[in-house]
Structure 1
Amino acid sequence: MNDRLAYLIMFVSVPVLWVLAIQVTGFPSFLLPPPDMVGGVLWTERELLASHTWITIVEALTGYAVANAIAIALSISFLYLPWMESLALPWTVIIKNVPFVTIASILIIILGDT
């Protein structure tokens, strides 16, 4: 089976299975909306979704750039100041061993969620 046929089968079977799951389980539409309702909301709210998508992309790229700038600055400082590397190494080990959800929660508490 070629890739295009596999993609077509997947593209058709997912919404069909979705509708069947709704009919079999009897979930209310506010818990599991049917595909046509989701598509309708995506279409009617497309301008809002596009603007929020753009904001998300800009923030993600900004965060990526800031994180890389910090990483480059730290790596250069570790290269030229060995004592700074030995100072930061224990904190690096701690941060790597703490679950990300915990770090994210602490950052939200410190920085706020807005």
Structure 2
Amino acid sequence: MLKRLSPILLPLALVLVAETWVRLAGVPVYLVPPPSAVAGRLLSDPVFFAGHAARTLLGALLGLGLGVGVALPLGAAMAHSPGLERTLLPLAILTKVTPVVALAPLFVIWFGFGWAPTVLIVALFTFFPVLVGAIAGLRSVDAGALAFLGSVAASPAEVFWKLRAPSALPHLFAALRVALPLALIGAVVAEWLGSDRGLGHVVGAAHTRLDLPTLAAAVVVLATLGAFLTALLARAERRALFWQP
């Protein structure tokens, strides 16, 4: 029973300790808001936070979809052709090492304060881990199984769908576990720098006003959203990889 409740009891204990410390130490709200003030801000206008959270969630998912949609076919092509990998992988690495925060203002100038900057920034955040996962996964086939399919004259399409794609799933889910939090981070960065909607905008505006209860409330909503999406992904992974222990 205690083991089941531990994921709830530990955060609750930390909240109680933080509340007690802030109250007893007399820390000003504009420096460290007590958890009760953060909860009060959330409960005072839940529709406000829900609307901005929905905007952030949609931007993150659209950008993640774009990043995955580009990374998977490109990863499949690079896994099949080492020469293509040697040519394109250095260019793909640029998307990882380039400071995306520096590109955000350019995207806002080029595309305006709409969905496009958010989606593109999230796609840049999530593209590389999915690409690497796709390449590694599609090459992680069992040599014996590959030889067997060759002995029965299986077509390249049959080899891909019956062997390579299932073998790649564990690597792809591992990549998605990295990419999903990055999608939320990318959405927040994009909204902070160039949007009038979303949790990133709320955090930026609250920071400017030194409104720490609102800022902390937005962070709590964002963390809850990330935990929920991670749990959904873990559930999907268990169902998709049912043959694994």
Task: Provide the TM-score with structure 2 as the length reference.
Answer: 0.38
The count of aligned residue pairs is 110
Following superposition of structure 1 onto structure 2, how do residues 50-69 of structure 1 map, counting pairs within 5 Å?
Answer: 50-69=50-69
- The residue number in structure 2 matching 1:34 is 34
The yes-or-no answer on 1:110 pairing with 2:84 is no
- The residue number in structure 2 matching 1:21 is 21
- The residue number in structure 1 matching 2:2 is 2
- The residue number in structure 1 matching 2:72 is 72
Residue 38 of structure 1: CA displacement? 1.2
The amino acid of 2:33's aligned partner reads P
2: distance between equivalents of 1:85 and 1:11?
A: 45
Percentage identity across aligned positions? 25
Q: How far does the alpha carbon of each residue in 1:4-48 deviate from its partner, in whole angstroms, 9 at most, with x for none?
A: 453564354223211222134331012112222111110112001
Q: How far does the alpha carbon of each residue in 1:64-93 deviate from its partner, in whole angstroms, 9 at most, with x for none?
A: 110011112322443676654332122344
Residue 49 of structure 1: CA displacement? 0.5
Structure 1 residues 64 and 24, CA, compared in 2 at 3 Å: closer, same or farther?
same
Structure 1 residues 85 and 6, CA, compared in 2 at 3 Å: closer, same or farther?
closer
Which is further off, 16-25 or 61-70?
16-25
Two-structure CA RMSD over aligned residues (Å): 2.8
2: distance between equivalents of 1:31 and 1:66?
A: 39
Task: Mark the runs of 5 or more structure 1 residues left unpaired by the alignment.
Answer: none
The amino acid of 1:104's aligned partner reads V
Largest Rg, 1 or 2: 1
- The residue number in structure 2 matching 1:47 is 47
Q: How far does the alpha carbon of each residue in 1:82-109 deviate from its partner, in whole angstroms, 9 at most, with x for none?
A: 654332122344555x3xxx52223224
Task: Mark the runs of 5 or more structure 2 residues left unpaired by the alignment.
Answer: 109-192, 195-245
Q: Is the contact made by 2:77 and 2:84 (CA closer than 8 Å) also made in structure 1?
A: yes
Structure 1 residues 29 and 49, CA, compared in 2 at 3 Å: closer, same or farther?
same
Structure 1 residues 6 and 75, CA, compared in 2 at 3 Å: closer, same or farther?
closer
> Could you say what secondary structure the match of 2:99 adopts?
helix
1: distance between equivalents of 2:65 and 2:74?
A: 14
Q: Is the contact made by 2:22 and 2:32 (CA closer than 8 Å) also made in structure 1?
A: yes
